[in-house]
Amino acid sequence: MLRLENITKRFSNGTLALETINLEVAPQTIVSIVGASGSGKSTLLRMISGLEVPSTGQLSWNGQPIQRSQRKISFIFQEPRLMPWLKVSHNVRLGLGPSPDREDEKLVTEAIAKVGLERFAHALPRELSGGMAQRVAIARALVARPSLVLLDEPFSALDAFNRLKLQNHLLKIWAIDRTTLLVVTHDVEEALVFSDRVIVLTGQPGRISEDFFISLPRPRRRTDPEFQAWKQAILDAFDPSLLNESETLGEKSYASGH
Amino acid sequence: MGTSANKRTIGFSAGFPEENEALPFAEHSKRSVFRVHNTLGWITPAILIAGWELTARARLVDSSLFSSPAQIAAELWKITLNGELLSHLEATSLRVLAGFAIGVSAATVLGALTGYSGTARRLLDPLLQSLRSIPSMAWVPLFLLWLGIGESSKISLIALGAFFPVYLNLMNGVRNVDRKLVEAGLANGFRGFALAKAVILPASLPAYLTGLRQGLSVGWMFVVAAEIMGASRGLGYLLIDGQATGRPAIMMSSVILFAICGKLSDGVIATLSERWLYWQDVYRT
Ligand SMILES: Nc1ncnc2c1ncn2[C@@H]1O[C@H](COP(=O)(O)OP(=O)(O)OP(=O)(O)O)[C@@H](O)[C@H]1O
Ligand SMILES: [Mg+2]
């Protein structure tokens, strides 16, 4: 169980990015965070992972304060962030931390197989396509069997086809491992395909304005009228001034952000 | 797995077929070997030498000032046979090697330190930067005073020259490591020394190698200064000796030998760079 109590974040330049965030994430669930650009979504994930320190408030994982050395949390960034000098298998092995056990080599092979890149285990990052590189990043994040995975717009740099493949892939992995996933996304449909729960952050500083528990059965179909009804409800929770724009631009472009 | 292009699967359950059918990747081939076969690089010098020889034979230049390639070759051959050449080469190379090794060691420690730690940088960098702005020749009399005319003053001067390029490049290399890669390391539990080893050092290796190349070339520059300030052996001594005894062929031999030594030793680092940086994603022509 991940718990955030009264978290605020003020950057050293004075920007107040997040205010009074209270949140509990149940184990083995998928929770999405949506919200306008600048509402503090990335900041929230970075604090949970320890890359930023909250200005006030408590962060705890299974009742213990989250330390910077927390090993059971992994992060999937918007870009793959692979070490260009390491071949794929060694990049994946980084996910095991600085001192992996010898037996863990098996985990590396498995993680690479799960993302379908067995034959690229010896390839260098510069020899991969964007989608393949992001799959290596997924393998690196999952290799240590984390209990919580933080994903910051993990698929937004990919084309629609690769995005669907990777979403599907992540869902399959989740169905087996039941890792808790906390996903930041611009894409309301993506949030709905994934999540047990969709949290809407609004404003600057960001606050949690809505918290939807999605009762749709899995696998979810985007064409389902109920799916569309949820989507509308979530879009309505966004800044109303943006909503008019979404009607003229079409929902698709609204949902995918900028 | 089949190769039929028109086989269709519905849904995504088929995994990632295109990559599964791709050819397996071999263990990565480190980008290869010495470029001895750069024949193009020889063309320009060959033409120049031929033109120079012809000009000399046509007596268009005063051969008592400007020796012809044939005269230089003859002179080189002579000092090769009597063992003088080897002795000069040895003396100069050992000085450069020793000075370079000392300069690089100090620069590596200090550059890594000031790059990694802001406190160390604020403490040490201003001093080092101001030392850097002292013209190298200004050190010569001081080194002679402190260390005498022997090897230690020469080696120290070369070490000083090699130090700064390596130091600066490494410090900036470490400082400018991509934050995104560092965060990827942090997010995977790498801290302190483990982070330095896994992320920061490899990421700053290109800058470090650039520094080594520059440092080595400065080392060859400084060895001339060091040998001119007093030596009984070495390519710099050969130059001064040729001047004193009025033998332009010897002086030009010395200059040519400097060019060859510099190029060869630079080639060693360039080759190492290619081997170690094979992973770089750069545009190559
Ligand atoms: N390192 C930083 N220093 C100062 N301010 C920052 C820093 N990082 C983010 N901010 C500010 O914090 C606020 C939230 O930024 P954040 O990156 O969390 O937004 P976001 O919701 O992820 O936006 P996007 O959807 O565009 O990625 C913004 O106003 C931003 O300017
Ligand atoms: Mg963001």
List of residues 6+ apart from B83 with CB closer than 8 A: none
In-domain check, residue B24: no
Chain B within 8 Å of A161 (Cβ-Cβ)?
no
Ligand 1 site-directed mutation target among A8, A10, A11, most atoms within 8 Å of CB: A11
Percent of chain B with pLDDT over 70: 87
Measured in whole angstroms, the distance separating CA A171 from the mean position of its chain's CA atoms is: 12
In-domain check, residue B1: no
- CATH of residue B241's domain is 1.10.3720.10
Maximum CA extent, chain B: 89
CB pairs under 8 A between A and B: 97
Q: Is the dihedral of CA B248, B251, B256, B257 positive or negative?
A: positive
In-domain check, residue B20: no
Whose tokens are 């030793």? That residue is B265
Q: Tens of pLDDT along A56-87?
A: 998 888 778 876 545 578 999 999 999 999 99
In-domain check, residue B93: yes
Q: Tens of pLDDT along B235-257?
A: 999 999 999 998 899 999 999 99
Q: Do A140 and B191 touch (CB under 8 A)?
A: no
Closest ligand to residue A77's CA: 2
Measured in whole angstroms, the distance separating CA A57 from the mean position of its chain's CA atoms is: 22
Give how far A171 is from chain B: nearest CA, Å: 12
Helix, strand or coil, per DSSP, at residue B71: helix
Task: Give how many domains chain B has, as a whole number.
Answer: 1
Q: Do A97 and B190 touch (CB under 8 A)?
A: yes
The superfamily in CATH containing domain A2-25+38-216 is P-loop containing nucleotide triphosphate hydrolases (3.40.50.300)
Distance A206 CA to ligand 1 centre (A): 10
Q: Do B12 and A122 touch (CB under 8 A)?
A: no
In-domain check, residue B62: no
Q: How many residues does chain A have?
A: 258
Residues from chain A that touch B187, judged by Cβ atoms under 8 A, are 49-51, 74-75
* Amino acid present at B41: G
Among B81, B56, B92, B88, CA closest to B248: B56
Protein residue with least CA distance to atom 25, ligand 1 = A37
Q: How many residues does chain B have?
A: 285
Q: Using CB atoms, which residue from B183, B198, B203 is nearest to A51?
A: B183
**Residue A153 CA: which ligand 1 atom is closest?**
27
Domain boundaries, chain A: 2-25+38-216
Domain limits for position B102: 69-276
Output B8-17 pairs: Cβ under 8 A, ≥24 positions apart: B12/A164, B12/A165, B12/A168, B12/A169, B15/A116, B16/A115, B16/A116, B16/A117, B16/A135, B16/A165
* Both structure tokens of B151: 């090897």
Q: Which pLDDT band holds residue A241 (cuts at 50, 70, 90)?
A: low
| DSSP state at residue A30 | E
Q: Tens of pLDDT along B63-75?
A: 778 888 888 999 9
Quote the ipTM score.
Answer: 0.86
Ligand 1 pocket, residues with Cβ under 6 angstroms: A 11, 13, 15, 17, 35, 37-43, 204
In-domain check, residue B181: yes
Chain B within 8 Å of A49 (Cβ-Cβ)?
yes
Counting runs of H as helices and runs of E as strands, what totals does chain B give? 12, 0
Tell me the pairing of strands A148-152 and A180-184: parallel
Cα A18 to Cα A8: distance, rounded to the nearest angstrom: 5
Q: Do B191 and A81 touch (CB under 8 A)?
A: no
Q: Tens of pLDDT along A177-223?
A: 888 999 999 888 889 988 999 999 988 889 998 899 998 888 888 89
Q: Is the peptide bond before A219 cis (omega within 30 degrees of 0)?
A: yes
Asked if A126 and A118 touch (Cβ cutoff 8 Å), the reply is no
Q: Do B281 and A84 touch (CB under 8 A)?
A: yes
In-domain check, residue B248: yes
Say if residue A148's pLDDT is above 70. Answer: yes
What pLDDT does residue A81 have?
A: 96
Q: Do A87 and B28 touch (CB under 8 A)?
A: yes
User: Which residues of B fall below an 8 Å CB-CB distance to A?
Assistant: 12, 15-16, 19-20, 22-28, 180-181, 183-191, 194-195, 198-199, 202-203, 205, 279-281
